[in-house]
Structure 1
Amino acid sequence: MKKVMALLLTATMLTGMLTGCGDKASESAADGKNQESASSASQGSDSAAPSSYDGEQVAYISCGDGDPGTLDPLAAMSSSRHVCIMEVCERLFGYTEDGDLYGVLAKDYERDGLTYTVNLYDYITDSAGNQMTASDIVFCLDKMVEKGNTSALNFEKYEATGDYTVEITVNNNNVATFENSIAGLYFVTQAAYEASSDDMSVDPVGTGPYKVDAYETGSTLTLVKNENYWQKPELCKALEQQANTEKIVYSMITEAAQIVVGLETGALDFAFVDFSAAERFGEGGEAANHFCAEAIKTWGGNALFFNMSDKSVFKDNIALRKAVLYGIDRQAIIDGVFEGHAINPKTYGQTRYPDADPNWDNEDYFEYDPDYAKECLKEAGYAPGELSLKLMFPTSSYCNSMAEIIQAYLDMIGIKVEVLSYENALYNSYKTDPTQYDMMFNGSGGPGTITRIWNNQLNKNIYTSDGAYCAGFLNDPHLQELVETASNVDTNSVETTSAVHDYLIDQAYLMQLYVEEKCVVYNTDKIVKMCTNIDARQVPGASIYVWN
């Protein structure tokens, strides 16, 4: 079977939730406003207005995840480095907003069992003029494995079978193994990488439409347009192949209040902000004349898992599990913790995935029913006030708030809850100790297929090295069979994923609590539309500016 990826991306994932996004950008340019530049604003200007277009095509972007520490594109990837290098270095394939692969360095691929033959363009050059061939791909994969880049570890073997052809064999037949792995890897030429004295940690040389101009660790990263970009204009369909501004300046500011100040003073033209802080930028806000605030969907969220170990009260008690799940109001969590800015899910994951059934949105998914929850508690063998449970979660403001809401709701049906907050390292350690909790918050997400989430948490052969159990010590042979069938590249379908979805509900094994949304704010005196990709990461090169 040969699959040729469509190169056309049809939209940018931005879904307007907060209004106040009129055509003020064009009006501002026409009015010829000449406010202080972003560079002077960042040095302490007391101006309350953002910078407008003054003839210099530059976008000031917040890298809210902080400084990546190194820009090495072959090292184990971090979220902040993804943001900083996606315009400089390129992937073989990326995801469209619908979860399909599209080619960047690669034209297409062919699959034969576990082996994927990747066909490269035969005219790729990096910003230093080095030509990229199949041997460069193999070199990069070798380095990634050496550096512990986990995505590359899913490849059993790989070899160049021609100047522009690479064969990659994955180590399992899961539907998302090749796609998820390959879409997270960036490639460079061996010549450029070996010419770097520090593994490209400061000045990566890539094949992208931008190149690094300056990097001040902990402060800013400046990119300028690569005037010799290799791809033909008519084939530059992917978001990260666009270059709509001459310069991009990433700021490493991470403190929420400073990010808001940076937007207002012109030090930043774009940033992710808390929804509570975004009110001033949305319709009716004091800064609405210069900004747009929008909500975008993400893939991440938290689910409530039970401790299903042999001595747990939940092990063989479906009624008790249902009492808990039907006793929690998910919408109350979304309203109280996220101010309404999250998706109320109807499955473990969400129905946006291509192998999920959108009809699940119309079905019951543990909808809040306190009377039924009380009946289930009685059926489970517990009188009101008799049972006390421990709820464990990683320390964060939103997890703390979620736990308090769940504590209150379960108290109303007669279950007492002790909330236990731990730092990440200790939380991850306690997840493997059945004596530490009765329930826990467990995060997951990512684009691709819904089976990606299920495999990571519900496939015991992936979750533990010895295949002993899944997340929450769950060990159900029938669930394992259903997950493996749904995950297999040859049997993955809406029918097989529906079998998993239905069984998880029937057994009341877990419940997705919410799916996160993020709020973006951008300066409409310069930006007409800010673009984000499927990972909810900013792509300033593909955004539309007043000068376009």
Structure 2
Amino acid sequence: MKSKKTLVVLMLLSMFVLILSGCGGSSTEAPVAEPPAAEVPVAEAPAAEAPAAEVPAEETSGIYPKVTVAIPADPSNLGPFAAMSLGRIGVLTTMYEYLFYQIGPELTPYLAKAFEKVADKTYDVTLFENITDSNGNKITAADVAYSYTTAMALGNLRPLGDLESVTAKSDYVVTFVTKTDLGGGINKVLVECPIVSQVAYESSADEMATKPITTSAYVLTEYVPGSSLTFERRADYWQTDQTMSPVVTTSNVQTAVFVIISEPAQHTIALQTGSADISTSVPGSDVSLFDGVAGFTVDRKIDNLTQVLAFNGSEGNVLTSKELRQAISYAIDRQAMCDAVSPGACNPSHEIGNANFIGYLSKWDTEDYYPFDLTKAKELFAASSSPADLSLKLLAQSQPPTTGLVCQVIQAQLAELGITVEIIQVDPPVFQQDVYDPTKWDLSLNSTAGGDFVYSPWQLMLDQNRYNGTTSNWF
């Protein structure tokens, strides 16, 4: 049989929104002329697109022999409870499984088949009884409790900050107790934590950072840091009823290779040359090279990521000055930033979330929220009594490449106020440690999404219940 190749072009342009987080916390201060620079959104990407290239012909078994996916960054740490990063997003559901999966408001069974609210802050989750990982370890309620408790202690999966405890009620029922009655927010908790065998995790020399042992339909066979990850389809995958699984468990490819390509322009070349079948990182300016072209499919979607510029609110930091935070907020031209970094693929945002989230109000799009005003910025800077030679450290991740461009735009725009910005870019694992150390930075550039509701990104960064009584940036 002659094989026919199909090119899927899936181009996800990350939503580029910059929100200047600042005032948060328990402050009840009411703005008079200007808001206290709690959050100043910058940009919102309208459409996301992501190309892909040729997908091998389907064999008579219904299984494609191999698909190569181009991802924009190295996951760096493959462990189940590591902090999120751009590279990790691309391979996470290939590596790990969760209690439930969510598309829209409803939960789909994954490792769990049902959950029930048994009290105001208590939920019982019932597991499937035949779950095994790639090493043959059987997964029970004790493993789920162990996974959640370990992740809670490490603190990288922030929605788990809403949990008081997770315990095994029986072999296949897990009890979750939350700090408050979460309502629909319990969904985010139940889809947040990868589940692994306690035996497998504790037997790993590096906490599965390079070789995860999981329940997924695919097993990692090779990881070359900075280059690629190769997964093979499991013939002994535990879930045989596809109707009881989310779409991400579909295993219709024998070998899935994720190649790490950090430069966006190289994604375009990889698709054109056939060295990649799918990409989520083709530059917006290159989409026309694939749109409507035979053998390629372009799928456009709005991303829900928000770029957040946070102020350090720890005691003694110069940015505890409301006037200085406001000055910085007015000095950043978010539209100019969009035009410089991702032309045609982002717009200034007016909220930490975007129209993808449930509860978003379209009227926010027409309301002023720290519009660029250098004159007002200079007035507020003078009122802040900040030193004329003020220098600030800006902490950001090394991935993706556009992050560096955003930092450079911020650096140049704040120079107009006389502020010197020192850019510190580090790899994602280092960033996830340093961002919670108030001595490491004055400004931090991060991404946030999380959950389905418009308040979900706020919870991720600014909910005091998750950060021991302050926001994530100590306000």
The aligned runs of 1:306-317 (5 Å cut-off) are 306=311
Write the deviation string for residues 180-216 of structure 1: whole angstroms up to 9, x where unpaired.
44323222456777898987677655443x2327325
Partner of 1:453: 457
| Identity among equivalent pairs (%) | 24
Taking the aligned partners of 1:13 and 1:297, their CA distance within structure 2 comes to 10
Q: In structure 2, which of residues 304, 314, 324 is the aligned counterpart of residue 299 of structure 1?
A: 304
Write the deviation string for residues 325-383 of structure 1: whole angstroms up to 9, x where unpaired.
34543211111112232242111333433244343234332334x4xx63675588669
User: Which letter does structure 2 place at the counterpart of 1:301?
Assistant: T
Partner of 1:116: 123
Q: 1:352 and 1:19, CA in 2 relative to 1: closer, same or farther beyond 3 A? A: closer
Partner of 2:97: 90
> How far is the alpha carbon of 1:406 from its aligned partner?
4.8
Taking the aligned partners of 1:429 and 1:130, their CA distance within structure 2 comes to 36
Taking the aligned partners of 1:460 and 1:106, their CA distance within structure 2 comes to 30
User: Which letter does structure 2 place at the counterpart of 1:364?
Assistant: D
Residues 393, 399 of structure 1: 8 Å contact kept = no
User: Which letter does structure 2 place at the counterpart of 1:250?
Assistant: F
Taking the aligned partners of 1:134 and 1:104, their CA distance within structure 2 comes to 14
Residues 124, 231 of structure 1: 8 Å contact kept = no
Q: Secondary structure at the match of 2:353?
A: coil
Residues 50, 279 of structure 2: 8 Å contact kept = no
User: Which letter does structure 2 place at the counterpart of 1:169?
Assistant: V
Q: In structure 1, which of residues 100, 104, 110 is the aligned counterpart of residue 110 of structure 2?
A: 104
TM-score (norm 1): 0.59
Residues 308, 448 of structure 2: 8 Å contact kept = no
The aligned runs of 1:335-374 (5 Å cut-off) are 335-368=339-372, 370=373, 374=375
Residues 76, 148 of structure 1: 8 Å contact kept = no
Q: 1:367 and 1:114, CA in 2 relative to 1: closer, same or farther beyond 3 A? A: same
The aligned runs of 1:422-501 (5 Å cut-off) are 422-424=424-426, 428=434, 432-433=438-439, 437=442, 440-448=443-451, 449-460=453-464, 462-463=466-467, 465=468, 467=469, 470=471, 474=475
The aligned runs of 1:118-267 (5 Å cut-off) are 118-124=125-131, 132-141=139-148, 150=157, 155-171=163-179, 178-188=186-196, 206-208=214-216, 210-212=217-219, 214-218=221-225, 219-224=228-233, 226=235, 229-236=238-245, 238-252=246-260, 254=262, 259-267=267-275
Partner of 1:504: none
Residues 62, 252 of structure 1: 8 Å contact kept = yes
Q: 1:390 and 1:352, CA in 2 relative to 1: closer, same or farther beyond 3 A? A: farther
Q: 1:399 and 1:101, CA in 2 relative to 1: closer, same or farther beyond 3 A? A: same
Partner of 1:420: 422
> How far is the alpha carbon of 1:310 from its aligned partner?
7.7
Question: RMSD of the alignment, in Å?
Answer: 4.7
Q: In structure 1, which of residues 324, 333, 350 is the aligned counterpart of residue 337 of structure 2?
A: 333
Q: 1:291 and 1:176, CA in 2 relative to 1: closer, same or farther beyond 3 A? A: same
Residues 327, 377 of structure 2: 8 Å contact kept = yes
Residues 157, 192 of structure 2: 8 Å contact kept = no
Taking the aligned partners of 2:48 and 2:304, their CA distance within structure 1 comes to 20
Residues 281, 292 of structure 1: 8 Å contact kept = no
Q: 1:387 and 1:303, CA in 2 relative to 1: closer, same or farther beyond 3 A? A: farther
Q: Secondary structure at the match of 1:62?
A: strand
Q: Secondary structure at the match of 1:416?
A: coil
Q: Secondary structure at the match of 1:335?
A: helix
- Any stretches of 5+ residues in structure 2 without a counterpart? 1-9, 14-45
Q: Give 1 or 2 for the bigger CA radius of gyration.
A: 1
Residues 154, 177 of structure 1: 8 Å contact kept = no
Q: Secondary structure at the match of 2:335?
A: helix
> How far is the alpha carbon of 1:291 from its aligned partner?
3.5
> How far is the alpha carbon of 1:420 from its aligned partner?
1.9
- Any stretches of 5+ residues in structure 1 without a counterpart? 1-11, 26-48, 475-548
Residues 211, 226 of structure 1: 8 Å contact kept = no
Taking the aligned partners of 1:206 and 1:292, their CA distance within structure 2 comes to 32
Write the deviation string for residues 205-246 of structure 1: whole angstroms up to 9, x where unpaired.
5443x232732544441322546542423333x221223334
> How far is the alpha carbon of 1:262 from its aligned partner?
3.7
Q: 1:374 and 1:122, CA in 2 relative to 1: closer, same or farther beyond 3 A? A: same
Residues 164, 179 of structure 2: 8 Å contact kept = yes
User: Which letter does structure 2 place at the counterpart of 1:335?
Assistant: D
Write the deviation string for residues 240-264 of structure 1: whole angstroms up to 9, x where unpaired.
1223334323334556566554433
Taking the aligned partners of 1:441 and 1:173, their CA distance within structure 2 comes to 32
> How far is the alpha carbon of 1:271 from its aligned partner?
2.3
Residues 74, 88 of structure 2: 8 Å contact kept = no
Q: Secondary structure at the match of 2:339?
A: helix
Q: Secondary structure at the match of 1:419?
A: strand
Taking the aligned partners of 2:357 and 2:94, their CA distance within structure 1 comes to 26
Taking the aligned partners of 1:161 and 1:188, their CA distance within structure 2 comes to 18
Q: 1:455 and 1:280, CA in 2 relative to 1: closer, same or farther beyond 3 A? A: closer
Taking the aligned partners of 1:91 and 1:14, their CA distance within structure 2 comes to 24
Write the deviation string for residues 143-163 of structure 1: whole angstroms up to 9, x where unpaired.
656877656676433322234
Residues 162, 178 of structure 2: 8 Å contact kept = yes
Partner of 1:393: 394
User: Which letter does structure 2 place at the counterpart of 1:416?
Assistant: G
* Count of residue correspondences: 415
Q: 1:338 and 1:176, CA in 2 relative to 1: closer, same or farther beyond 3 A? A: farther
Residues 112, 125 of structure 2: 8 Å contact kept = yes
Taking the aligned partners of 1:430 and 1:214, their CA distance within structure 2 comes to 34
